[in-house]
Chains A and B, each alone.
Chain A
Amino acid sequence: MGRGVRTGEKALAAKVNDRCFALDNKVSKVIASLSDDTSYILFYNSLGILCSDCKPMVSLSCYCIMEDGGRTENFRAARSFRKGMEFLTDDVVDTLAKEAVEGAARMFSAVKPKGGELPVVMAAGGSGILLHEAIGHAFEADFNRKNISIFSDKLGQQICSPHINIVDDGTIPGNRGSINFDDEGVATQKTYIITQGVLTSYLHDRISAKHYGLTSTGNGRRESFRHIPIPRMRATYMENGNLSEEDIIAEVKNGIYAQNFTNGQVQIGAGDFTFFVKSGYLIQNGKLTQPIKDINIIGNGPKALSDITMVANNLKIDNSTWTCGKDGQGLPVTQGLPSVLVKKLTVGGE
């Protein structure tokens, strides 16, 4: 039985709210929300596979609206885990409130860069959206089985620097994207999709695995009993390189440091992907300078991947409330990245 949000726990959302107002007198509205779901699955198929699972999910989010001198800005911070309420400590409350308030405050001094092709340093963490959009979807094997992904002919080929390893991992304890088995009864796994720069595996459900004569990678997921399982990501991230973030930023004369993101999208066949940068910084002469905000970045998957020239040693999985949409089905996922330099992406601006 799901037990629902208890009243003591409800007070946590109120704490986030109060903390935000206490942090800055420019805060005009806070929307703090807490959700606590548990689902129980019993799976049985004609192959005789019988398994059961309990899937908890608890999420806390804080959306802060701030007014200053007649201007309004907003910022959102969130955390989500397959855990119980034990993760909701005062520390989490403090961290979220601080992230949301500082984020909104920073927006007042933020500018839009001059648009065009620029080097982009993707900060560790939520920047994993680059992997999710630029290659993750295009590696989902249903698109490749149908021959419509830009990566359809690339299995076994070197597609990026040999220093790069990328995984889609369903095994991280408590992670929002983790599952014990997928919705076709296949045990979860850590799947290397790029090993030393070589495309080593697509993400399979049972149909695509059969098509390719392989075993499923456990990516057959569905939103609910109303939907059919299709290949979907879990937690997608790049393993560490050996540089420091400072080294990478120092290499850039004129570029962008992208830090917070709201959403992304990809065209599987053309390979063009986008993600929306809520906040970041300009990089001028190797240093972070002015904050930037509200710009879209667009690139092409294979080109962007081969343009990743530097990888730091600071991998961070972003545990925000990421939800991936495909064929009308929304699923919880996560993503992560160490800081990387992409030589060239098209940055929105005026």
Chain B
Amino acid sequence: MISQKDKALAQYILKFAQQNGCWASRVALYAGTERSFEFRDRQLEKLHQASENRLSVSLFVDGRYGTCSTNRMDKSEVEKLIINAIQSTRYLSQEPCRTLPQVERYYKGGGAPDLLFDQTIETINTDDKLLITKAAVDEVYQTDPRIIMVSAGYGDSTHFSYLIDSNGFEGEQAQTNFNLSASVSLKDIGDERPESWWYDSSLFWDKLQKTGIGKKALERALRKLGQQKIASGRYPMVVENIMASNLLSPILSAINGNALAQKDSFLMHKLGKKIASEKLTLIDDPHLPNAMGNRWFDNEGVAATKRMVIENGVLQTYYIDTYNAHKMKVSPTISGASVLTFEQGDKDLNGLISSFDRGILVTGFNGGNCNSSTGDFSFGVEGFLIKNGEMIKPISEMNITGNMLALWERLTAIGNDALENSAWRTPSLVFDGVAFSGL
């Protein structure tokens, strides 16, 4: 956690910056620890531990803006850094759009305490962590002659942050994270060695899924044996919930203030307009209890509030921080999304698949990109050919290509299987008429 001593240093640095020529300033402290290890087959392959302390300072000097950071929490060293940074900032061009947020936009406290920190993290026995990881390997080790390698990894981490600024904002956040993953490599008929993985992730040790991860990884690898590409053409596409963020991400980038201010967004001038099928309703719900991404304020101290992002396909908000709001002469909202939830449908993935005569289930992406200015995309994919409601053949080495606006307009169904272990709680999604290229 962040010590009182370091908080006192941050408060001192804030005053020091003001006394040495800053019109305004912001100081952020971060402290965190990461621990992880990995078993390969039954041997411990990797141990990793890293701790970090960081102090970052934003300086608003004579209408100019600069930043600096250090991991050395020594008062005299930080003083030197600030003096140098203030001098450097004076070399920069004037940036009148850089200011602290208006005070009324700050989080003022009073929300329920953050429920993102597992107080037991330092009391969990390392042997217990090793046990569940080794068990993930043991679940499948040597259970099939085609298995070449099984690996399992465990990781946990703590993240503490403390933010103050010269307008009087003060806020603090703490979070823990636990994850368990497994991957299995198989020998196929040719030289191919298909691999698959599974994982769980949780803010709390007690809620982390500790069994079944290895088995699920093997099951997903086995069903990939014999992958082939199939004929190019337009197919209905189901995207599995764990992969749906790949298609949501370009939308979120395009409604961010940075992209809009740079005129580098395919969603310019689309606020209040229809950008997707009526099936799509996306809500940012920052205070969803125990959810990853949950927060009371953003990196400027601005209060995070529940907001409709897309309602029945109509774009309801941009994510605009203070700087970009000034640049574009519009009202700021908040710097980015917290917890994204979808209005869900009534079928799970199997239900969605069974409703198809013919289509493709996408279970993995392999490279590709999206043009941020136009929304044109092309991604490598793998998955399964669906016929008469059944997954009949594993496919790979194919691309999907199109335009984000046209794709989301053809969203025809949403699953009821939203991910619970991610800040973007994506369900499985169904799109009509997607261009696949293969043979």
Contacts and interface: CB of A to CB of B under 8 A. Distances in A.
B157 interface: no
B374 A73 contact: yes
A298 B367 contact: yes
A330 interface: no
B369 A263 contact: yes
A259 interface: no
A224 B185 CA distance: 29
Contact of A147 (B148, B377, B397): B148
Nearest to B368: A296
B379 A296 contact: yes
A270 B396 contact: yes
Contacts of A269: 185, 192-195
A115 B264 contact: no
Interface string A132-150: 0100000000000011111
A74 B382 contact: no
A11 B224 CA distance: 54
Nearest to A261: B369
Given A117-B439, A265-B380, A346-B437, A152 B193 contact: yes
* Chain B interface SS verdict (over half): strand
Contact of B148 (A73, A148, A300): A148
A115 B435 contact: yes
A29 B264 contact: yes
A35 interface: no
A263 B372 CA distance: 14
A29 B264 CA distance: 9
A349 B437 contact: yes
Interface in A247-305: 262-265, 267-276, 293-300, 302
A71 interface: yes
Interface centre among A147, A154, A294, A299 (most CB of B within 10 A): A294
Contacts of A295: 378, 399, 401
Given A29-B264, A296-B367, A74 B400 contact: no
A112 B376 CA distance: 10
A262 B397 CA distance: 19
A94 B152 CA distance: 51
Contacts of B373: 65, 72-74
Contact of A115 (B185, B366, B401): B401
A29 B382 CA distance: 37
A28 interface: yes
Contact of A274 (B192, B266, B268, B366): B366
B227 interface: yes
A294 B374 contact: yes
B397 A300 contact: yes
A342 interface: no
A72 B91 CA distance: 33
A346 B263 contact: no
B104 interface: no
B378 A348 contact: yes
Contacts of B52: 226
A112 B380 CA distance: 15
B107 to A, nearest CB: 31
A348 B400 CA distance: 7
Nearest to B266: A72
Contacts of B439: 116-117
B185 A349 contact: no
Interface residues of B, number: 50
B366 A298 contact: yes
Contacts of B396: 270, 272
A350 interface: yes
A347 B380 contact: no
B7 to A, nearest CB: 25
B133 to A, nearest CB: 17
B423 interface: no
Contacts of A172: none
A299 B397 contact: yes
Interface in B410-439: 435-439
B371 interface: yes
Contact of A71 (B374, B377, B435, B436): B374
B149 interface: yes
A191 to B, nearest CB: 23
A27 B333 CA distance: 29
B398 interface: yes
B192 A296 contact: no
B40 interface: yes
Interface string B25-43: 0000000000000001000
Given A65-B373, A74-B372, A150 B185 contact: no
B262 interface: yes
Interface centre among A146, A151, A350 (most CB of B within 10 A): A350
A46 interface: no
B124 interface: no
Contact of A296 (B50, B266, B401): B401
Interface in A1-56: 4, 7, 10, 28-29, 31
A269 to B, nearest CB: 4
A153 B401 contact: no
A350 B407 CA distance: 12
Contacts of B194: 269-270
B193 A264 contact: no
Contacts of B263: 28-29, 65, 67, 72
Contacts of A73: 371, 373-374
B380 A274 contact: yes
A228 interface: yes
B399 A346 contact: yes
A71 B437 CA distance: 26
B192 A29 contact: no
Nearest to B185: A148
Interface in A141-169: 146-154
A115 B399 contact: yes
A116 B437 CA distance: 5
A140 to B, nearest CB: 15
Contacts of A65: 262-264, 373
A303 B11 CA distance: 61
20 contacts: A31-B262, A65-B263, A72-B373, A116-B232, A116-B439, A133-B367, A148-B195, A150-B192, A154-B191, A226-B50, A262-B369, A264-B367, A269-B185, A269-B192, A270-B194, A270-B195, A272-B366, A346-B398, A346-B437, A346-B438
The 9 closest A-B pairs by CB, nearest first: A115-B437, A274-B367, A348-B399, A265-B367, A269-B193, A348-B378, A296-B378, A274-B380, A348-B401
Given A72-B266, A294-B369, A296-B368, 9 more contacts: A10-B91, A116-B437, A148-B193, A148-B195, A150-B193, A268-B195, A269-B193, A269-B195, A270-B195
